[in-house]
Chain A
C-alpha cells in the first residue's frame, strides 16, 4: 500500500527516475536507500523527502502556521488512519467532517502534501460508504471528490462516485 502510494506521489511530482524501496518489519514500513546519506524510514519522512527533491516546498506549507498544520495531518495519517478499527472509522470521519466545514483543503485554502496522503489513506474507507453516509459526512465527501479530481493525483486508486446534488436534504449534518 505505502509503496504504491509513494510511486504515485513520485509520478504526481514529475520525478523522472523511480526510486527503489524496501520494507521493514511486519508493519511494512517503507525504506528508501539514499545514495547520498543514510536510509530514510517511514511513509511521511520519505514523502517529504520526495517533495523537496522535486523542488515543490510549497506542498509542505508556505507559512509557519500552515507548515505546522501539514505536519499535524501527516502524523494523523500514520498514527490514526493507518490500522484503524471499524469503530475508529466513524470517529475519524466525524472529526474530519467538522474540521473541513470551513476549509477547502486541510491547510485552509492551500493544496498540500497533507491532502494527497490523507486522500490515499482514506480512499479505502470512502469506497465502502453508502450514499447516505457520504451525505452525512458531506464536508469530507466534498473534499474527497475535489482531491480525487485534482490533476495528476488519483493514479493507482479507483474513482469513487460522488453525487453532485444532495438527496437526503432534510437530514442535518
Chain B
C-alpha cells in the first residue's frame, strides 16, 4: 500500500502534514507538491479535505492513539476538528473562538485525554496558519502555554520548520 500526499504550497494542509509526520514510522506516506491537497489511497479512493486526510491516517495507526482511546475521546476529537475548521480557519469572530479555546485548555495539557491527539494537531495547525493568531493571541495565557509547548515537540517543530516558513 503506497500512500501519496499531494500538497498545494499556497494552501498548506498543515494538519494533514502533521498527521503524516506523526504516523510516518507505522504508515509511510510520500509527500509531493502539486496543484491541490489530496491523499491518494488508490485510484478509486482519494481524500481532499484536511480533516478527512488526518482522520484516515490516524485510523491506520491506532496504536499511536491519535484518535483517542475510547468513544468519549473520539467524540471530543471530532468536536475539535470541526471547531478548527469552522471557527479558526479564516472566519471572523476569532477572539470569541480563542476565548472558548482558552477556557477549555485551562485545566488541560492536551485538548483531549492525557496525550497528543488529532484535536491538538488540527487546532495547532489552524492557529499556526492563521494571520490573526500571533497578534490576537497575547491575552490567552492557556493557549499560549499549550501552543508553545506543542511547537517545541519534535513532529511539530519538524513540520513548522519544513513548511510553515515557506509561506513567508
A80 to chain B, nearest CB (A): 24
Interface string of B128-148 (1 = CB under 8 A from A): 000000000000010011101
Is there an interface contact between B145 and A102, defined as CB atoms closer than 8 Å? yes
A interface, over-half SS = loop
Is there an interface contact between A109 and B114, defined as CB atoms closer than 8 Å? no
- Report Cα–Cα, A163/B108, bound state, in Å: 10
Is there an interface contact between A166 and B145, defined as CB atoms closer than 8 Å? no
Is there an interface contact between A103 and B145, defined as CB atoms closer than 8 Å? yes
Is there an interface contact between B107 and A163, defined as CB atoms closer than 8 Å? yes
Interface string of A143-173 (1 = CB under 8 A from B): 1011001100000000000111110010000
- Report Cα–Cα, A169/B148, bound state, in Å: 24
Question: Contact residue range for chain A?
Answer: 20 to 34
Is there an interface contact between A164 and B108, defined as CB atoms closer than 8 Å? yes
- Report Cα–Cα, A146/B106, bound state, in Å: 12
- Given known A-B contacts A109-B148, A109-B152, A149-B114, A142 and B107 have beta carbons under 8 A apart: yes
Is there an interface contact between B107 and A104, defined as CB atoms closer than 8 Å? no
A129 to chain B, nearest CB (A): 13
Is there an interface contact between A104 and B104, defined as CB atoms closer than 8 Å? no
Q: Is the C-beta of A112 less than 8 angstroms from some C-beta in chain B?
A: no
Q: Is the C-beta of A141 less than 8 angstroms from some C-beta in chain B?
A: yes
- Which of A109, A149, A150, A166 contacts B149 (CB under 8 A)? A109
- Report Cα–Cα, A149/B104, bound state, in Å: 18
Is there an interface contact between B106 and A166, defined as CB atoms closer than 8 Å? yes
Residues of B at the A interface (CB closer than 8 Å) are 103-104, 106-109, 114, 141, 144-146, 148-149, 152-153
